[in-house]
Structure 1
Amino acid sequence: MGAMADKPAQAERKKKKPRPRWQHILWIIFKIVRIPVLCVLAVYIGLYIGYTKLGHQPSGEILHISTWRHLYDLVFAN
């Protein structure tokens, strides 16, 4: 008989309030954007560690176009 008394309490716990539309849209945008943001963050952290800590170069040069041209020339040189 104890199991019968628990059913209404369980039914009430399972009911969730529907989210407002703006929260639903915001959650979808977050789910779409999080992977690219994490990828860019991982690349930046890798660049920082590799270029400044291992290469002993100034961190301000990570985003200079001349640095990227030099790296491109090193990788794709004949």
Structure 2
Amino acid sequence: MSDKPVPKSKQPQAKWLKITWTVFKIFRVPVLAVLAVYIGLWIGYTKFGHQPASEILHMSTWRHLYDLVFAS
């Protein structure tokens, strides 16, 4: 005879737990991507650019950057 252990059957998960896990799996990559972009902006603008962190998301900052890049 074989002495292999018999696999236990999985307990059914609660419906709310399954939905929560699915929502977490869907949103984790976009949330991490936005977080990585914000951290990159913060490091680049405040640490390398020596500017105040409060100006990172101001529209005037990005308009100025756009004008610098696409100036003729």
Residue-by-residue CA offset, 1:6-59 (whole Å, 9 max, x unaligned): 54xx322xx111111111111111111111101100110000110000000011
Q: Tell me which protein shows more helix as a share of its residues.
A: 1
Distance 1:20 1:29 in 2: 15
2:67 counterpart letter in structure 1: D
How large is the RMSD of aligned CA atoms in angstroms?
Answer: 1.4
Question: If you compute each CA radius of gyration, which structure gives the higher value, 1 or 2?
Answer: 1
Matched, 1:23 2:48: no
Q: Does 1:11 align with 2:24?
A: no
Unaligned runs of at least 5 residues, structure 1: none
TM-score w.r.t. the length of structure 2 is 0.87
TM-score by length of 1: 0.81
The size of the alignment, in residue pairs, is: 72
Gaps of 5+ in 2: none
